[in-house]
Amino acid sequence: MEEFDEDWSDKASVHSRNVNVNELSPMLFKEEKLEKDPRVSSADYGTFCTGPNILTLSKRRDILREQQTNFRELEISLKKSDFISSKFATSISVSLRRAKSVQKSFRVCGESIKQIEGQLGSGVGTYFKVIVWLLKINFICMILSLGLIVGPGAYMHQIRNSSLDHTIIYNKDDLKCTNPNFVNGSSVYVDAANSLLQFFTGTGWMEITPMFYGWYPTGNLTRNLKGDEKTVYYFSLAYFAVGVFFFFLALLFMLFNLSTQLNKSAAEQFDSKPYATQILTLDYSISNIKTSQQNSVKIAQAMREKLIEDAQRGIERDLWTKVKLFLLRTVTNTICLAGMVGTVYMYVHKIITESSEKWANSTDSCGHIRNEALDDIQDKDISEQLSTFWNTYSASIIVSASNVILPNFFKQVGSFEKYRFQSTRVGITLIRMFTMKLFNIAAYLYILLIAVGPSAGQQEPWQTPDNTLFYNCWENYIASQLYQLLLIDFIVFCIALLLGEVLRSYILARSSFLRDRLGITKPEFDIAQNILDLVHKQMIFWSGFYFAPLFPVLAVFEVLSIFYLKKASALSNVLPPQTVVLNHQSTFTINCLFLISLLVVFVFMGLIIFNFHPSPTCGPFRDTSRFTDPLSNVIDHSGVFKRYIIDNIKTTSIVVILIILTGLVIYYYRSLAASRAVTVSLLTKQVRSEITEKQALLDLVPGHRERRQSRAQVGAEGEELGTKKLGEISTIL
Amino acid sequence: MGNSESALISEKQLEIYQLETFFTRKEILHIYQSFENLNPDKVREAFMAGNYQVKMDYQEVIQLAELKYSPFKDRICRVFSEDQSGDMTFSDYLDMLSVMSMQAPKDLKAAYAFKIYDFNDDDEIDRTDLDELVNRVTGFRMKTEDVDGIVDEILKECDMDENGTLTAAEFEDILHKSPEFSANFNIEV
């Protein structure tokens, strides 16, 4: 057994003779500041640089030149076949680079977004990037719709109208949905004013345009090829495919996007570093002095609030305060819920009362005013005309107006609730706003289904024959209601923008009293509210797409208009947002919102396609009993799928299975994220224990322990001062 | 715009810049345009004479819109200039914008961010660096005790070896967990 050597500390010393510096870890080397030790050569030290190894552009160029020279020399020595392969690989790489540069040149609205980010920060830029993303989706939808539905539909119209048997695609009387002039088969509109009105309501002459379902022909496009009548285009199938498969593609795309972000976001949630993230991720894109100053003010404020919140976390409220807050929040939540339910009740009541006797006497089969009644109304005074106007558009106006009024109401209510943390208050307000918008649209769609139920083969028990509304072309009715909602929503959006931002900014610029005395400022750009607005509009597009093939064209125009109107207003009439919105949270949340809204529309479309019967008098499915019949026919003939698979897909058991599968996928990713968090925590512990071990070894080095203790002393004093101040803050609170 | 700039920079040089940076040909020419706008006469004369190493002074470089109001403009220019003086050649300028573009990988951005925030250039971010960092980010609006509190919290969150400093590895670890870093550490061309 080896005797214990009492000079072990000296032997262990780094300063002892014949130490091989290559065996030392970089950290140890640095700890000891051995670079100053004359016994160690600078050449050895140079390998222990602990900073990031960065090469400047000129150094990289030198290396690249050397690599290219070496590569050329190597190429010369290659065999011919290898030389050709090498050249081929190089040309592919060059082509890919060029293709990438071409793809970049198609970046939509890049300059505008840069300008906005420079002025208002990258958070606001995120909103505009979402608009561009929606524009791309709607553009793809538009191309599919125009290419596969509208174009062939128009071609088939032209052929059939010019054919010898003069087959008419639709009987105008069959539509009979809105303008009573169709009953007489006379001219399409009464006068220019009514014509314009019909443009905004999607009724009358609008119903025989390619905008709506009823215009489209049934059957297939056939050609006489070598004496046989061959089908060259399955129009009904194309209509079904574009309408349904686009939703599936959008859904799959969003699920995939969301799953990757859930993976990242959940992992970060378990290991969040709020202070470091806030300080180290400064927005470098700002190019405006006011925005830059406001940004620093915003971060300073957020940091102060965070320090206060953290000081408050350890403080428990007393029982009486908790009870008071509970009662207060119950009241505020009840008020908000009442606001949402009240809004829905108003327009549901309006649509349902269309079936009342009074209304039925003056309306035609589509619930719109008969010609005679219209004449009577035109003789009445303004107040009654306004009343008629209100009766016609009330549902759309209520939905659109509530989207503007209720969010501001929720924000005010939220300020009374006395949440400790601003993030909690903001989160709850957002949940209320999203629930309100979703509830509005979901209820609107459900009511439309009830209204057209009897026409589509669905009997509702409470609808008596007297009150039943029977639409000859119920698909057009749904499409026209959604079209109305779309237009009214856009008009309300423009009015809100004009009054809320442009006019307010104009008045403030000219009134120092309002600015200086009352302290009123320009409105702040509320990123979350604006994004919810986009979600709402997109839901309307998706809902109406199946029954209005030109909706995507409207969608593209509307989204572009929103982009430029919002941009113009944002650059001159608003202030940057005061609350800090972190991009990764926004991206994940935005994807969630769009996915949920798409799922709601999916359910609506599913109910219609699998349960409702198409109108026998209009549209491409008039000769079928189900919307899925064209697909079923093709599958039956192809013999690829068995009938029972298709039948089972329509049942609720499949929906249940899909929901369970989705839940399992989400659970899987959540578990994965949690397991990674545990791994990170264990690795951190491992690193810390290794460091402790290292410190213990270093303490064997003479002088090192004293140096470490003096550094620790300085750090502890600073920490004590910081802790003392946090304690003072909590005492004040 | 395209033709006059491309005449001043040879095709071969453009090809090399494309390989070395994350930009396309069009973007490099656009960047050249912005570089020239800092001092048109000086740059044009130099490039026409084939001198691509012409330097812009620090005061000229910070006229770039995104740098002008940045609290770290001095550090950015110092880190990206080859001689650490803050004066930049076109290569340095291109390098800066390349690293701070959306296409640059996070690791590269993190490495340069580390260099920028290492105010005393000692290859680690210590309390002094963090004090300076917090003060600059908040526009020197916070009290000393608040700044100390924030620095303590940052060190608690990020200093794994508890030695009071952040090494490059610890720094990169924080930024890897912040997806918004890539979007924010960004100057659009």
pLDDT single digits (tens) A388-399: 666 667 777 888
Q: Is the pLDDT of residue A423 over 80?
A: no
CB atoms within 10 A of CB B44: 14
CB A614 within 8 A of CB A608: no
> B187 to chain A nearest CA, in Å?
5
Q: Is the pLDDT of residue A152 over 50?
A: yes
Q: What is the predicted pLDDT for the residue at A717?
A: 54
Where are chain B's structural domains? 3-99, 106-184
| A609 — pLDDT class (breaks 50, 70, 90) | confident
Kindly state the DSSP code that residue A433 receives in the 8-state scheme: H
**B69 vs A contacts (CB less than 8 Å):** 286-289, 292
List the single best residue of A57, A291, A584 to mutate versus B (max B Cβ within 10 A): A57
Q: What is the predicted pLDDT for the residue at A184?
A: 35
Q: What is the mean pLDDT of residues A580-601?
A: 72
The torsion angles phi and psi of A349, rounded to 5 degrees, stand at: -60, -40
Q: Is the pLDDT of residue A34 over 50?
A: no
Please choose, from the candidates A238, A201, A233, A204, the residue with its C-alpha nearest in 3D space to the C-alpha of residue A220.
A233
Tokens of A515: 């600015």
The vertex-A157 CA angle with A151 and A162, nearest 5°, equals 130
Kindly state the DSSP code that residue A455 receives in the 8-state scheme: G
Interface contact A61-B20, CB threshold 8 A? yes
B26 alpha carbon, distance to own chain's centre? 21
Interface contact B150-A56, CB threshold 8 A? no
Taking CA–CA distances from A115, the nearest residue in chain B reads B188
Q: Do domains B3-99 and B106-184 have the same CATH topology?
A: yes
Q: Is the pLDDT of residue B29 over 80?
A: yes
B68 alpha carbon, distance to own chain's centre? 13
Taking CA–CA distances from A289, the nearest residue in chain B reads B69
**B126 vs A contacts (CB less than 8 Å):** none
CA–CA gap between residue B119 and residue B129 (Å, rounded): 6
List the single best residue of A90, A271, A278, A280 to mutate versus B (max B Cβ within 10 A): A280
CB A271 within 8 A of CB B177: yes
pLDDT single digits (tens) A635-673: 776 665 566 666 666 566 777 887 888 788 778 877 887
CA–CA gap between residue A476 and residue A485 (Å, rounded): 14
Q: What is the predicted pLDDT for the residue at A192?
A: 59
pLDDT single digits (tens) A509-536: 888 877 777 777 888 888 888 888 898 9
The vertex-A137 CA angle with A134 and A143, nearest 5°, equals 135
> B41 to chain A nearest CA, in Å?
24
Q: Is the pLDDT of residue A355 over 80?
A: no
Interface contact B146-A691, CB threshold 8 A? no
CATH number of B106-184: 1.10.238.10
pTM over 0.80: no
The torsion angles phi and psi of A230, rounded to 5 degrees, stand at: -110, 145
| A566 — pLDDT class (breaks 50, 70, 90) | very high
Query: Which are the contacts of A333, defined by CB distance < 8 A and separation ≥ 6?
Result: none
Q: Supply the mean pLDDT for chain A.
A: 72
Q: What is the predicted pLDDT for the residue at B116?
A: 92
> A651 to chain B nearest CA, in Å?
42
**Among A113, A281, A725, beta carbon nearest to B178:** A281
Is the ipTM here above 0.85? Answer: yes
Tally of CA atoms within 13 A in the half-sphere of A465 that contains its CB:
0
> A721 to chain B nearest CA, in Å?
7
Q: Is the pLDDT of residue A11 over 80?
A: no
Residue A285 vs residue A103, higher pLDDT: A285
**Among B71, B137, B146, beta carbon nearest to A304:** B146
List the single best residue of A104, A272, A284 to mutate versus B (max B Cβ within 10 A): A284
Tokens of B147: 């700044």
Interface contact A281-B184, CB threshold 8 A? yes
Interface contact A284-B186, CB threshold 8 A? yes
Q: What is the mean pLDDT of residues B2-29?
A: 77
**B160 vs A contacts (CB less than 8 Å):** 684, 687-688, 691
> B44 to chain A nearest CA, in Å?
21
> B127 to chain A nearest CA, in Å?
9
Q: Is the pLDDT of residue B187 over 90?
A: no
Q: Is the pLDDT of residue A471 over 70?
A: no
Q: What is the predicted pLDDT for the residue at A288?
A: 79
**A722 vs B contacts (CB less than 8 Å):** 145, 148-149, 151-152
**A33 vs B contacts (CB less than 8 Å):** none
**Among B137, B158, B161, beta carbon nearest to A296:** B137
List the single best residue of A95, A281, A289 to mutate versus B (max B Cβ within 10 A): A281
> B67 to chain A nearest CA, in Å?
7
Q: How far is CA A9 from CA A20, A65, A154, A703, in A?
A: 17, 51, 94, 11
Q: Classify domain B3-99 by CATH architecture.
A: Orthogonal Bundle (1.10)
Query: Which are the contacts of A16, defined by CB distance < 8 A and separation ≥ 6?
Result: A10
**B128 vs A contacts (CB less than 8 Å):** none
Residue A578 vs residue A3, higher pLDDT: A578
Q: What is the predicted pLDDT for the residue at A579?
A: 64
Q: Which helix (H) or strand (E) holds A228?
A: strand A228-233
Taking CA–CA distances from A61, the nearest residue in chain B reads B20
Tokens of A124: 């606001």
Interface contact B20-A715, CB threshold 8 A? no
Q: What is the predicted pLDDT for the residue at A241?
A: 87
CB B185 within 8 A of CB A284: yes
pLDDT single digits (tens) A617-629: 788 888 888 888 8
Q: Which helix (H) or strand (E) holds A232?
A: strand A228-233
Q: What is the predicted pLDDT for the residue at A556?
A: 93
Please choose, from the candidates B97, B17, B84, B86, the residue with its C-alpha nearest in 3D space to the C-alpha of residue B52.
B17
Q: What is the mean pLDDT of residues A157-180?
A: 52
Q: What is the mean pLDDT of residues A149-160?
A: 84
Query: Which are the contacts of A490, defined by CB distance < 8 A and separation ≥ 6?
Result: A537, A558, A561
Residue A318 vs residue A435, higher pLDDT: A435
**B27 vs A contacts (CB less than 8 Å):** 101, 104
